[in-house]
Amino acid sequence: MTFQDQARAAKAASTVLRRLSRAAKDDALSAMAARLREAARGVLAANAADLERGRAAGMAEGLQDRLRLTEDRIEGMAAGLESLAALPDPVGEVVRGWNTAQGVRIEQVRVPVGVIGIIYEARPNVTADAAGICLKSGNASLLRGSSSALESNRAVISALRAGLVDAGVPADAVNLVEGGHETTQEMMGARGLVDLLIPRGGAGLINAVVGGSTVPVIETGTGNCHLVVDTSADLGMAESIVVNAKTQRPSVCNALETVLVLQGIAEEAVPRLVGALTGAGVAVHGDPASVALDARVVPAGPDEYDAEYLSMDLAMKVVDDLPAALEHIAEHSSGHSETIVTENLESARAFQQSVDAAAVLVNCSSRFVDGGEFGFGAEIGISTQKMHARGPMGLREMTSTSYRLVGTGQVRLG
C-alpha cells in the first residue's frame, strides 16, 4: 500500500470518526486496550527482535532503554487508553456562542482536525498513546515511528486495529506508516490529505519536519528554561524550587537549565544555591561572577547558556538587574517555561508581561508545566510555538473549531 493510499484511507476513516459519539469512541479505546493486553506476548517478542537488531547495530544503551517494552510498560499503555476513555469528549464543546442583531445564532464549536500525522523516535509506547489521543479527539492518525522500532510498532498497531474492528470503528482510524525517508517526505508534503503533523523527538527531528513540511506542523519539545532570583526573593523558596526544577527529572523539557541571580542578592544567593545544588548532585557551571562567589562553580563555556543540558548540570549567571535578566532570557530562551522567584509584586508583574514563552511562572517549579500537572489527563507534547496551541497539549489542542450558524431565513442587507 502506498503512502497516498494509506492517507486516503485515513481520510475516509476520519469522516466516520468526526461523527462518532463519545460512547462509541470510548468503547473503541477500551477494546484497543483489551486487544493490546491480549497481544502482550507477541508485542514483547517483536520488541525483543527490534532490540536484538539495535544491539547488533551498536544502538546506545539509553536508546535501547527507550525502545524496550516490558509487561509493565504494555500494561501502562493499555491503562493509558482506558484513562482516555474516562476523559470528557473535546468534540462538540462550545467555545463561544451569541446571537446577531438579525437573530442568527452563532456557535463556535470544537470539531476534529481530520488526519493527524505523528513523527516520532524509537519509543513504542508513543504509538498507543498517540493513537489513543487522536481517536478520542475524533482524528485519524498516521503514525510514523522509527524504523528501529518497526517490529514493535507493527505488533502494537495490529492489536489496536483489532480493537477498533471489535468496536465497529474503521481500522484505518489508526495507521502505521512504514517505508524509507521518501515516505517521510511524502507525509510532509501531503497537503489536503494530512491536516497536521506533530514531530515528537529531538531538536534535529523537529527542525527537519518544520523546515521540510508544507502541511501545518506543531513543534514540541526543546526547553532551555531559566529561573530568575530577584533581589526580593525568599532564598529558602528559591533553593527548593531550583533544586526541584533541576533534579526531579533532569532529562525532560520542563527541567531547569539556567539560574540568573540578580547582582543585589548574589553574594548571599549564589553560595546558598550552589550549596543546595551540589548537595543534590548537580554540577554548577557559571560566569566569572558566580565563580568568584563560590569556588564550587566551574567556569561555563561560551555556548552553555544556549542549549539544554538535560542532565545534572546547570548554568548560573549573575546579572545586573531585572531588565538584564529579561534581556538574557529574550536572547537564549526556547520559549518553553521561564520562572521568577520574587516577593515583589511589580517584579512578578513585569516578568509575566515581558517574557515571551509558553509558560511564565512566579514562585513555583517549572516541572508543573506538563499536561498531567495541568489536569489535562492526556498530553501529546508541549508546544513551544505560538500558533494554534502553546504549552501542554491535551485533547482540546487536537481539535479545530467550526462556526455553526442557525437562522430562520435571514439574508444580509448591507
Binding site for a second copy (CB under 8 A): 15, 18-19, 98, 100, 104, 106, 108, 111, 113-114, 191, 195-196, 210-211, 214, 216, 218, 234, 237, 240-241, 243-245, 248, 330, 348, 352-354, 356-365, 367-369, 373-375, 385-388, 390-392, 400-412
Closest CB to a second copy among 7 and 39? 7
Are 227 and 259 in contact by the 8 Å Cβ rule? The answer is yes
CB of 103 to a second copy, least distance (A): 9
- Of 98, 95, 140, 146, nearest to 120 by C-alpha is 146
CB of 284 to a second copy, least distance (A): 19
- Of 17, 34, 150, nearest to 91 by C-alpha is 17
Closest CB to a second copy among 44 and 357? 357
CB of 50 to a second copy, least distance (A): 30
β strands within 92-215, DSSP E: 94-99, 105-112, 115-120, 140-144, 174-176, 196-200
Closest CB to a second copy among 54 and 90? 90
**What element of type H or E holds 191?**
none
Cα–Cα distance between 273 and 251 in angstroms, integer? 21
CB of 409 to a second copy, least distance (A): 4
β strands within 164-240, DSSP E: 174-176, 196-200, 225-229
Q: How far is CA 290 from the centre of its chain?
A: 33
In the chain, the amino acid numbered 310 is L
Closest CB to a second copy among 311 and 402? 402
The residue behind cell 477494546 is: 31
CB of 176 to a second copy, least distance (A): 24
Closest CB to a second copy among 23 and 292? 23
Cα–Cα distance between 167 and 164 in angstroms, integer? 5
Are 119 and 113 in contact by the 8 Å Cβ rule? The answer is no
Closest CB to a second copy among 176 and 243? 243
Closest CB to a second copy among 48 and 350? 350
- Of 140, 105, 144, nearest to 123 by C-alpha is 144
CB of 100 to a second copy, least distance (A): 7
CB of 397 to a second copy, least distance (A): 10
Closest CB to a second copy among 180 and 375? 375
Are 300 and 283 in contact by the 8 Å Cβ rule? The answer is no
User: In a 10 Å sphere around its CB, with 0-12 CB exposed, 13-18 middle and 19+ buried, how is residue 210 labelled?
Assistant: middle
CB of 136 to a second copy, least distance (A): 17
